[in-house]
Amino acid sequence: MDVKEEAFSKDEMTTAVYQRMPESLRNLSDNEVAALEKKLVRKLDLIILPIIGILYILNYVDRQNLAAAKLQGITDDLNMTTQQFATAVSILFVGYLPLQIPSNLLITKFSRPGLYICCAVVIWGSISACTAAVKSYGQLLAVRAILGGAEAVFFPGAIYYLSAWYPKKELGKRIAGLYIAQQVGNAFGGLFAAAILQLDGTHGIRGWQWLFIIEGTATVGIGAICAFFMPEFPHNSRILSQLERDLAVWRIESEAGAAEGTEEEPVLKGFAKALADPKLLLLIFCNLLSQAQGSIANYFPTLVASLNFSHTVSLLLTAPPYVLAGAVYYVLTWYSDRKNTAYPLILGCIATSIGMYIIPMATQNVGARYFSMMILPFASVGPQLLLYKTINLHLARPISKRAAASAMVNAIGGTSNIWASYLYYAPPQFFAAFGTLMACAFLFAVTITVYRWLVLRENKRMDSGDSSQIAKVIKGGVTEEMMDLNWRYEMY
């Protein structure tokens, strides 16, 4: 195998597959191909990743700022009980979850997916800013439900968008970049909230109202600016030369036989294929359990405040755990990409989170409890990075199937945020919350092990050379083009 072929696939390509390579690339020397790919990836990283990262910070800040507003009296001003506040947190997901699937099916049909995402950013920023005007609990519920519907576009859309540009050897670190941005949003969201809440009473406006006004307005402005810079799909991107477009498309095609914008699979047919895949059902359940663990983000300021710090100090203390989480996310995905592995990393995070759930239930020591809070953000959420990488590599084709699968895993898994919101009571030990999350962690470990057994069985069928066994694999979602490319389920 020569150097040029190694740049596109670690497996040996057949002559027929190689002949599908664009003529413009076959005419280049090996060194020219390698140099062009290096230049292309650097350009994509410098344009796509900062934009997606900034938008995700805004997405998470606008979704989580209600937790900060609680510390500044929104519950008192709107006469809300603890249960009503939990409903206000969870109702966002009533709009957020069901709209993810149709949104991600639609994005595959837009020639400018970046513009589609940015329009949603402007809309949700406007809605978030309007939260400052609510005068009652009922109005807050209405605004939060609508906000969830607008935000449904972003996360599954961003995961799909990244998978349209980056092959498997690069995708993990780029998804990690998204989650690192999430942690930056969590960390600096608390710091910004602490600063903004000092405006309490200025011009007769409460601090929590300033929080929604300033952060919502910033989201609108930044989203509008980003709309001018987000690239299209690889095959029609205006930021790339024709030669770079050919390479960007081939990088994806060489792995699974088709790239975004080049497949004609009907949207509903791809959705039906996703529903029929048993691997998707297992991944949905894994993510449901993982997102239940990640629900601590919705109440993290409350958990820190249970250590008996002031409201301002509590917001400041939410930053270090998220900074640490961002660093660990990068290490996890770097190692996953380098070693082509996911399963042992997921189990490692699960085992760590179980230990951290035990600490706050077993002791009221402030140091020990804050230590567990330092670890929990990355241990409880870390597996989600590897799950989304798994989805986009194991359920790669058709494209509409991958888009539907990504949205379904996030949407159905996200329902955990609804019921988990009612677990965070009875401080400081929160037995109901941490006990339930620990049970979810154990069940998660069992489910991901079953998933591993399933994909390893499929690999054995592909390696068997038996036409009847290969037919079963194709029925399970592997295309004939993927078989031609010697494709296999990896990382498990």
Domain extent for 13: 3-484
Residue 489 lies in a domain: no
Confidence at 125, pLDDT banded by 50, 70, 90: very high
Residue 157 lies in a domain: yes
**pLDDT-wise least confident of 23-37, 63-77, 301-315, 321-335:** 301-315
Q: pLDDT, tens digit, for every residue of 277-313? A: 788 889 889 989 998 888 777 677 777 778 877 777 7
- How far apart are alpha carbons 407 and 389 in whole angstroms? 13
Residue 492 lies in a domain: no
- How far apart are alpha carbons 154 and 32 in whole angstroms? 36
Whether the predicted pLDDT of 122 surpasses 80: yes
Domain count across the chain: 1
Q: pLDDT, tens digit, for every residue of 450-463? A: 999 999 998 998 88
Whether the predicted pLDDT of 396 surpasses 80: no
**pLDDT-wise least confident of 171-180, 308-317, 385-394:** 308-317
Predicted local confidence at residue 9, as pLDDT:
44
Whether the predicted pLDDT of 64 surpasses 60: yes
Whether the predicted pLDDT of 443 surpasses 90: yes
Predicted local confidence at residue 14, as pLDDT:
45
Whether the predicted pLDDT of 344 surpasses 50: yes
- How far apart are alpha carbons 78 and 134 in whole angstroms? 9
Of residues 12 and 461, more confidently modeled: 461
| CATH for 188 | 1.20.1250.20
Q: pLDDT, tens digit, for every residue of 235-255? A: 888 888 889 888 888 887 776
At residue 401, what are phi and psi to the nearest 5 degrees? Answer: -65, -45
Q: What is the largest CA-CA distance in the chain?
A: 76
Confidence at 436, pLDDT banded by 50, 70, 90: very high
List, in order, residues 6 or more apart from 214 with CB less than 8 Å away. 196
Predicted local confidence at residue 480, as pLDDT:
76
Whether the predicted pLDDT of 220 surpasses 90: yes
DSSP code, position 111:
S
Mean per-residue pLDDT over the chain, rounded = 82
pTM tops 0.85, yes or no: no
Q: pLDDT, tens digit, for every residue of 139-159? A: 999 999 999 899 888 888 888
Residue 219 lies in a domain: yes
Q: Are 372 and 356 in contact (CB under 8 A)?
A: yes
Residue 254 lies in a domain: yes
Whether the predicted pLDDT of 258 surpasses 60: no
Whether the predicted pLDDT of 442 surpasses 90: yes
Predicted local confidence at residue 294, as pLDDT:
81
Predicted local confidence at residue 421, as pLDDT:
74
- How far apart are alpha carbons 473 and 274 in whole angstroms? 15
**DSSP-H helix ranges across 166-277:** 168-196, 207-226, 242-256, 267-275
Whether the predicted pLDDT of 3 surpasses 50: no
Of residues 110 and 438, more confidently modeled: 438
Q: pLDDT, tens digit, for every residue of 175-215? A: 888 878 877 776 677 777 778 878 887 888 898 899 899 99
Of residues 356 and 96, more confidently modeled: 356
Confidence at 104, pLDDT banded by 50, 70, 90: confident
Whether the predicted pLDDT of 330 surpasses 80: yes
Confidence at 224, pLDDT banded by 50, 70, 90: very high
Predicted local confidence at residue 126, as pLDDT:
94
Report whether the peptide linkage leading into residue 428 is cis, meaning its omega lies within 30 degrees of zero.
Answer: yes
Residue 176 lies in a domain: yes
Predicted local confidence at residue 231, as pLDDT:
87
Residue 491 lies in a domain: no
